[in-house]
Chains A and B, each alone.
Chain A
Amino acid sequence: MEQTTLESIQFNEEIQGIMAPASETANSFTALLELPPTQVVELLHSPEITGKPPKPYPLTCDTGNLTFPSNTTARFSVLAGENKNSPEVKDEVPETEGGGCVSDPTIENKKSKGAKRKEREKKVKVSSKKIKSIGDENSGNGGDELPYVHVRVRRGQATDSHSLAERARREKINARMKLLQELVPGCNKISGTALVLDKIINHVQSLQHEVEILSMKLAAVNPIIDSNLESILATEGLSLMDSNFPATVAPVVWPETPHNGNRQQFQIPWQSDAFHQPLWGRGENNPNFMTPENSLLSYDSSANSVSLHSNQMKMEQ
């Protein structure tokens, strides 16, 4: 208990020290007392909870009345319990002296606005230096944790700040590479960065070539881009201004076509004058209203499989 009160007093002193330039009142511990309890709660909240954006905290006090010194200790322990960094903080505090304790909340206060990885790495640098000065117990243990950073220092690996930063950076890159591996088909089983990169490069190249080829095709297919496009889109009832059509516009019943006879039946309504009807009929099968772009996009590349169901399924992706 005495230890916690000591810590609380130290923290309060730090907070008050930080508070002093902000507030215009006296520099003493009683400055905190002058504040209404809610603001004190806020102050106690903000330096400890790092990594959260600085929202305006709702001014709700959990307990009704805050009688000052006793409840702050209780509040501090509660806050420390809430904060995920707290076990590390508590570990840190008994190890280091009071001097070591001083800089932590100041650092944490500075980083309270959106603690990013780099800032955590800076903390690591600071704290790792301190730990080195005190004793090399951390590097000796296997699988121990450095405070403030979720980087595990394995046995025998350096606690050097540079290598830690490098390792963090490498892990970040590796995580992203995993995502890439999932995106590019056929990359999952390959291990080794170079080969994976090879595949990625091939994929990007092939996609770019396809874009070229398709644009060539489009240019060849449409003698005049504009009029054809307009006619295509006009059949879909599309005007570019309003892309959303209400569902009530689609009244027409399109007879449900069986899978086999689809193609011919598909072609015939194309030739009919009521172009828009079949398309909207298709849209009627879809419970949600179908934007014209959806209908366009549903003319999938597999023109052979012309079953309406499969087209709609792909549209609903």
Chain B
Amino acid sequence: MRNLSSLKKEFLRKWIKGLRKYNSQKKNMNLLERKKAIKLSADLAMASTKDKTTLWRKALFANTSTKIDDEQDMSTTSSTPQKKVIRKNSTNSYPLRKRITGRRKILRRNHTKERVEASFIAMRLVKKRTRKLKSLLPGGKFMDDSCLVDETLDYIESLKAQVEVMRCLVTSSELFINQP
């Protein structure tokens, strides 16, 4: 709780700025677009809190900027030919995935005998979980163990701040709307 409130304030400020900018671009957005806009600007705001420079922030920056670029491309260009292309790509990848998973299964069978001692089981479990955590965290695949723990600490803190700010905003806007 050391600087949670300041974190929240900063996040709120930047988020609102981002939202405004987003709104200036497009006037009428449907639900999904709005949600995307909200999420993106929230991500950006989270990623740009100034006092810490951590790996996940940089990765988040990169991700959101690419997403924003994608979205702008999607919106500006004519929709139908591009959408067809994208759909074709998505369908083409499916059989590939099947093949790859098949290979992995075969590999596992040929794998050397797995050791059954307790320490190895424990290690395997921990490794599984660290892999999962890495997949959760933005930019997690590039981190080693010690780095990972630090980053999750930071990430959890800022996620908490983000959630609390959003919750407050939701309740306040609900109150506001219900009144007049």
Contact = CB atoms under 8 A, between A and B. Distances in A.
Given A224-B23, A271-B180, A297-B5, A204 B152 contact: yes
Given A226-B20, A317-B5, A211 B162 contact: yes
Given A183-B157, A226-B19, A232-B173, A243 B13 contact: yes
Given A169-B146, A173-B149, A297-B8, A219 B38 contact: yes
A201 B159 CA distance: 13
Given A172-B146, A194-B122, A218 B170 contact: yes
B159 A207 contact: yes
A299 B175 contact: yes
Nearest to B130: A197
Interface in A32-74: none
A198 B130 CA distance: 9
B39 A215 contact: yes
Nearest to A177: B149
Contacts of B179: 267, 270-271
A222 interface: yes
B170 A214 contact: yes
Contacts of A215: 35, 38-39, 42, 166
A79 interface: no
Contacts, number: 165
A205 interface: yes
A298 B150 CA distance: 30
Given A226-B19, A229-B16, A221 B170 contact: yes
A240 B9 CA distance: 12
B9 A207 contact: no
Given A229-B19, A296-B169, A301-B171, A201 B132 contact: yes
Interface residues of B, number: 60
Given A183-B157, A201-B136, A203-B156, A217 B12 contact: no
Given A216-B35, A271-B180, A198 B129 contact: yes
A303 interface: yes
A294 B9 contact: yes
A297 B168 contact: yes
Interface-central residue, A169, A193, A220, A297, by most chain B CB under 10 Å: A297
Nearest to A267: B179
Interface of A: 169, 172-173, 176-177, 179-180, 183-184, 192-194, 197-198, 200-201, 203-205, 207-208, 210-212, 214-222, 224-226, 228-229, 231-233, 235, 240, 243, 267, 270-271, 291, 293-294, 296-301, 303, 315, 317
10 contacts: A176-B149, A192-B122, A201-B132, A207-B163, A215-B166, A219-B37, A222-B173, A233-B16, A297-B168, A299-B171
